[in-house]
A and B are shown apart, each in its own frame.
Chain A
Amino acid sequence: MKKTMKQMAALAAGFLIALSVTACSKTETPSQPGGETPAAQETDAPAQTEAPQTNTGYASASGMIVSAEPTDIKSSKDSMTVVISADPGSLDPHDSVTQNKHQSTRQIYETLVVYDDEGKLIPWLAESWEYEDDCTINFKIREGVKFHNGDELKASDVLFTLKRLVDDNTVAAMQVNKVDFSKTEVTGDYTFKLVTVEPYAIQVAMLENPLCGIISERSYQESGGDFFKAPVGTGPYKVVKYSAGDSLALEGFEDYWIAGQPYVKNLTLRYISDSSSRVIEAESGGADIVYEITATNVDRVRANENINLVSAMGANTSYLYMNQAKKPFDDERVREAVWLAVDIDQAVEVAYGNFGQRATGMISPGIDGRHPDMSSFFPARDLEKAKALLAEAGYPDGFETSISCNSNDQQRKDFCEVIQAQLSEVGIRVNIDVMDSTQWASSLAAGEGVMTIYGLTASTGEAGRTLFRWLPDTSEWPISSWENEEYYELIDKALTTTDTDTRNELYYQCQEMLMQNHVVLPVWHKELNAACQPDVRGFKITPSYEQHYLQFVYFE
């Protein structure tokens, strides 16, 4: 009997070990049998372990991926699967600001202008535009562009779209909140005049955002605004079937205005929220491109020779916020003490590892208007000085406070724990309030937050989009509750300055003010990435709104 029991125990242990070995062995680089190595891997697939790549390489003469120039590229495969972390919810391009949504809808709807590979605004549906005066822009629309319903794109569709943003009270209304619709008018079949209430430097950049995707007026009216029935844009792909929560099947639009595009005719977007399952789709070859490889998986994917990890610094920067409406953070000495007591390098290392980078400025690298060098504004860790400042402010023994974070974001939770430990060294006792994402967002907007880590995205590709969030009429203002008329005037002036150099100078001053007043401490610049199979070409990360164009992708 005893012997049998021992045998059983050994058997069970063997079974468990075998299972765990299977589970763990994936972290090692797999030894790939020679026959299974994809052909492209042997030819000219870019090396993965060197400097991060921002694209998968491209065969066109110009070398530019985002370009309206026709090419003679032919894709070796005519269908492609792309995995995205969240489904769009609806096919209305104007009803949500989440980037994940536009990773789907941007393939169906297009904007008047786009950013090229070098971050320069280039004509897209708008062929050209010129400033008549500081408040008036004359747009010329490209002729011969067709909607998926067969109609030709007219200036009236563009104006209808922009008005709809406001009339339907969509979240996209903020993209045109400076537009004076009483004076904005269609001036011809292919021309219209856009008038802003005051000079607004970033108006054209605002229209680049996929929230301003142009829709067909006729389809909108006929379907009663139901985008499930009539998702009609001018984009390279048209909708075949949308399965909520699962996938979106798209097919190349045969009358697309750039000849030969999209290169891959059948596109399936799959929605997988679990980050590990997304990585597995990349590893098993089930998908050609997989977006958003998270911090926990990024090293594993980088080490995999059969996957090409494309990454770029995004437009999102996270900050350590302290709410000045809550004591004792109204005292600048206390805020400075916190800055001196935390070691951001260490916190970033623990929470994000090799993913993204420790913040070096208020705005992410590569964004227009980013301060060229803010290193002198970041303090070195100095616990003695921090303690002295706290004592001076009347808290010689520190104080008790709280930091809130979103339960879905493991990295930020880890980050908060490191900060908690670091601040305890100067006597500041921090409680971590973990909340679900909506509860967290609501409490911050209601001004209930004390400390938090919060990220802002310069989604127009330039600094103004981030810097105006410290104006009192935004929902982010109550997170810091920073009252400073001088700053309000400065950012207002910057946003109405049309000359780029002068505007950037003003942006630099804004960034310096935020640091000098210890308003927020920038901690981390977000990285955007996607895992591509080795034969994927023409894929590029789009930092501005993370929508990523798929019409340029082809297979070698």
Chain B
Amino acid sequence: MLHGGNPVQHKLYMEIEEGKQVLRYIAKRILMMLPILFGITVIVFTLMYITPGDPAYAILGENATPEQVMEIHKEYGLDDPYLIRLGRYFAGVLQGDFGTSYKTGRPVFTEIMDRYPNTLKLALLSTLLGVVIGVAAGIIAAVKQYSIFDRVGTIISLFGVSAPSFWVAMVLVLLFSVKLKILPATGTYGPQYWILPVFTLGLQASTSIMRMTRSSMLEVIRQDYIRTSRAKGQSEWKTIMHHAFKNAQVPIVTIIGIRICGFLAGAVLVETVFAIPGLGKYIIDSVNFKDYPVVQGGVLWIGLNCIVINLLVDIVYCFIDPRIKSMYSNKKKAAAVGTGGASNG
């Protein structure tokens, strides 16, 4: 009301204000990333430091002589105290230098970037497949609660959550590559190579997404406004998709974000079975090899990715749920949202 009596002008002003608030929030979140990344680095560095085992033996192999081991220690500064090594690592990272791999002598960043596209592709495609299957199945299961579809879906999703991914992967490979010989078993040399790994992880993702969609939808479907929508003669499709699903999206987006992060770091078993040169497997191999710079760089990179994905998820909330957007723009309103007062906007 303060800005002239024109409601259109007022609305525009409010929107600009809200936009600014959202941007400010994003900037704040980006700044908050720094201490998190610092923490990740210190923790990973310390863990690698205190784990027993000498990288010199990994580099030199079983025939290393004591002199060669000493030489390697000198070359990589492995005998220096903890704080000096940590400081040296930070100094490098701040200049964009993540160090060089002990195993290959190549820059860690190059090594990571060789593998990252495979991991990202696998994570995104699997999540996409999971969303398509999971959301559709979840909506149907919720709408037709206690129907055969709901029960079969629930059992399959229970199976999907409990079946280990490497086992599903092996079964798929034995069936489609060894028995039927219609899909390649391992590698990443063309679209057909991605079908089995994406299906393995996608299936896994779809089960949790389905369960989340189902429970979130069930909650919304019981609300009064859905009954109102039906009562006023709105078509069932419109009622479900426009009124119910729209309000059930927030938890679904949350679980999608969690899944992508999980796949970026945790697709190790699937990467191993399908011989996909991905980041997760590379980090595990590097842990065994005591390739400290690679482990540190790799974990830092995945950490950065997860923070960015979480930020994106938060931004998406603003677009799908006006209540959350208004939280950023008005603290008083936010408090009201907290008590459920603004739920009907």
A89 neighbours in B (Cβ, 8 Å) = 103-104
Q: Are the C-beta atoms of B185 and A281 separated by less than 8 Å?
A: yes
Chain A interface size band reads: 35 or more
B290 neighbours in A (Cβ, 8 Å) = 438
Using an 8 Å CB-CB cutoff, how does the interface string of A244-283 with B read, 1 for contact, 0 for none?
1111000000000000000000000011111011001101
How long is the Cα–Cα vector from A441 to B60 in the complex, in angstroms?
11
A22 neighbours in B (Cβ, 8 Å) = 171, 174-175, 179
A277 neighbours in B (Cβ, 8 Å) = 173, 185-186, 272-275
B188 neighbours in A (Cβ, 8 Å) = 246
Q: Are the C-beta atoms of A445 and B52 separated by less than 8 Å?
A: no
Q: Which of A346-372 contact B (CB under 8 A)?
A: none
CB distance from A287 to the nearest CB of B (A): 9
Q: Are the C-beta atoms of A445 and B69 separated by less than 8 Å?
A: yes
Q: Are the C-beta atoms of A171 and B63 separated by less than 8 Å?
A: yes
Q: Are the C-beta atoms of A244 and B111 separated by less than 8 Å?
A: yes
Using an 8 Å CB-CB cutoff, how does the interface string of B174-187 with A read, 1 for contact, 0 for none?
11011101001111
Using an 8 Å CB-CB cutoff, how does the interface string of A23-62 with B read, 1 for contact, 0 for none?
1011000100000000000000000000000000000000
B266 contacts the other chain (CB 8 A): no
CB distance from A149 to the nearest CB of B (A): 21
Contact A284/B65 with A23-B171, A276-B273, A436-B288 known, Cβ cut-off 8 Å: no
Using an 8 Å CB-CB cutoff, how does the interface string of B68-108 with A read, 1 for contact, 0 for none?
11010000000000000000000000000000000111100
Using an 8 Å CB-CB cutoff, how does the interface string of B52-74 with A read, 1 for contact, 0 for none?
11111111111111101101000
Q: Are the C-beta atoms of B104 and A90 separated by less than 8 Å?
A: yes
Partner of A272, one of B61, B171, B174, B186: B186
Q: Are the C-beta atoms of B61 and A171 separated by less than 8 Å?
A: yes
Contact A98/B61 with A270-B187, A281-B185, A283-B178 known, Cβ cut-off 8 Å: yes
B289 neighbours in A (Cβ, 8 Å) = 438
How long is the Cα–Cα vector from A276 to B275 in the complex, in angstroms?
11
How long is the Cα–Cα vector from A439 to B58 in the complex, in angstroms?
9
Q: Are the C-beta atoms of A284 and B177 separated by less than 8 Å?
A: yes
A8 neighbours in B (Cβ, 8 Å) = 148, 151-152, 155
Q: Are the C-beta atoms of A273 and B106 separated by less than 8 Å?
A: no
CB distance from B119 to the nearest CB of A (A): 11
Q: Are the C-beta atoms of B71 and A442 separated by less than 8 Å?
A: no
User: Which residue of the partner chain B has the closest CB to A20?
Assistant: B171
Q: Are the C-beta atoms of A475 and B58 separated by less than 8 Å?
A: no
Q: Are the C-beta atoms of A274 and B272 separated by less than 8 Å?
A: yes
Instruction: Report the stretch among A11-19, A134-142, A520-528 that lies at the interface.
Output: A11-19
User: Which residue of the partner chain A has the closest CB to B106?
Assistant: A228
B53 neighbours in A (Cβ, 8 Å) = 435-436, 438-442
A490 neighbours in B (Cβ, 8 Å) = none
A443 contacts the other chain (CB 8 A): yes
Using an 8 Å CB-CB cutoff, how does the interface string of A228-253 with B read, 1 for contact, 0 for none?
10000000000000011111000000
A80 contacts the other chain (CB 8 A): no
User: Which residue of the partner chain A has the closest CB to B173?
Assistant: A280
CB distance from B254 to the nearest CB of A (A): 29
Contact A276/B170 with A435-B52, A438-B289, A475-B63 known, Cβ cut-off 8 Å: yes
Known: A244-B111, A284-B173. 7 other contacts (CB 8 A): A12-B155, A19-B171, A26-B174, A244-B115, A272-B275, A277-B185, A475-B65
Residues of B within 8 A of A (CB): 51-66, 68-69, 71, 103-106, 111, 114-115, 148, 151-152, 155-156, 159, 167, 170-171, 173-175, 177-179, 181, 184-188, 272-275, 277, 281-282, 285, 287-290
Could you write out 22 A-B pairs with CB less than 8 Å apart?
Answer: A23-B170, A95-B105, A96-B61, A97-B60, A169-B71, A245-B277, A274-B272, A276-B170, A277-B185, A280-B173, A280-B177, A284-B185, A286-B184, A435-B53, A436-B287, A439-B51, A441-B58, A442-B52, A442-B53, A445-B54, A445-B66, A474-B63
Instruction: Return the 9 tightest CB-CB contacts between A and B, nearest first.
Output: A439-B53, A97-B61, A245-B277, A442-B54, A246-B277, A438-B53, A441-B57, A272-B275, A284-B177
